[in-house]
Amino acid sequence: MAANAPFPPASPRGTGFATGRKKTTIMNHGISVLFRAIPLAMAAFCFAYGAYVYTAGDDPLRLTAGPVVFFLGSICMALYCTAATIIRQIVGTYTETAKYIFPAIGYSFALATIICGVFILTSQTSGSLVTGHVVCGLGLITVCVATTATASSRFSLIPRNSADASFSINPQGFTIGQSVTLIGIVSATALAAWVWCILLFVRGTLPAHIVAGSVMFGIACICTSLIALVASIARQIRGSYSMREKSKWSSLVITMGSLAFILGIVLLIVLRGQTINFVGFVLFGLALICWSISSKVILLAKIWHTEFPLANRIPIIPVITALACLFLAAFLFEATDFAHKYYVPARVLTGFGAICFTLYSIVSILESGASKK
């Protein structure tokens, strides 16, 4: 293959591609199927529940809650592509075709989500302004997750590089251009989300603009958090991940989650008594997703060139965040009986819980594949 190809395949020695040699499998078949089934199950839940909310009853708020929950399924599908990419390398079934098809699936869902968001935005239906912007934002998150799947195409090199005491660049890993490209895609997507958020706040004149801008703020925080994840994976595959980066990337993700959470509190206080203060609870859910992502970034940092006995405890983080989303959704479902403004966040937080639980499967896979055995 030409030297300037964007992602030339690494040699079988470093990637875990099928070569005819006996593979050392560190994940049994049943567990590998389970961890791939979780993202698919959560995607199916989001698609089915979102469609049900959209079509059931005559409440106009269903036109916002339904599509948002539905397109959370696109993120789950992109996470499935990431899970399948890593697991196939762990069990020794990763092929040249799989290297391209899984990222392509993720980007296809991202493109479809953004197109649908634009369509909703121009449809002039009830709640279309908020719904359209938010669905487009979910498409941006899906782009970042699909890039994570692309960056994971040589994931099997991470434990090898981590065990290399010389800290040298692995020629079988990404070139510097490939690494910068992957990080650049996510960074550009995050920048687009931040610009989108600022424009909604600065140029918006309606309460709906405040809601859409606030949610886009949380979405931008998630995209920024995914910069840390993609950078950690790409740089560890290349072997250029430094010890100083351990705290840098972890701190970035935790900070993004904290910013979303703080804005949620501010909005609940500042907009107290107004019908749009429900957006504070949506930001709480987006913050919980950021902290779920932090589990993966922290795990990769903790096991880089060191033993970390508690690595198998880190997957507890997304389990806790998923439960927090579901518990908060349960309270908001009850609150809907006397404050109808909680109709949307109650249902959206249920979808956020599905995202967090999907992230549990991803961090468990990372722990199995990247930890020293």
**Taking the domains of the chain in order of start, what are their residue ranges?**
26-370
Single out the residue of 321, 303, 190, 325 nearest to residue 236, CA to CA: 303
Burial 192-223 (b: 16+ CB within 10 A, else e): bbbebbeebeeebeeebbbbbbbbbbbbbbbb
Q: Tokens for 259?
A: 């910013």
d(CA 322, CA 127): 27
Q: How many residues can be counted in the chain? A: 373
Measured CA angle at 305 (ends 299, 310), to 5 deg: 40
Is the separation of the CB atoms in 326 and 350 below 8 Å?
Answer: yes
Q: Tokens for 196?
A: 């989108």
How many helices (DSSP H) and strands (DSSP E) are in the chain?
A: 12, 0
Per-residue pLDDT of the chain (373 residues; tens, 9 = 90+): 444 444 444 433 344 433 333 444 457 778 888 999 999 999 999 999 999 999 988 888 999 999 999 999 999 999 999 999 999 998 888 988 999 999 999 999 999 999 999 999 998 887 899 999 999 999 999 999 999 999 999 998 988 888 877 778 888 889 999 999 999 999 999 999 999 999 999 988 889 999 999 999 999 999 999 999 999 999 999 988 888 888 899 999 999 999 999 999 999 999 988 889 999 999 999 999 999 999 999 999 988 878 777 778 889 999 999 999 999 999 999 999 888 999 999 999 999 999 999 999 999 888 876 665 4
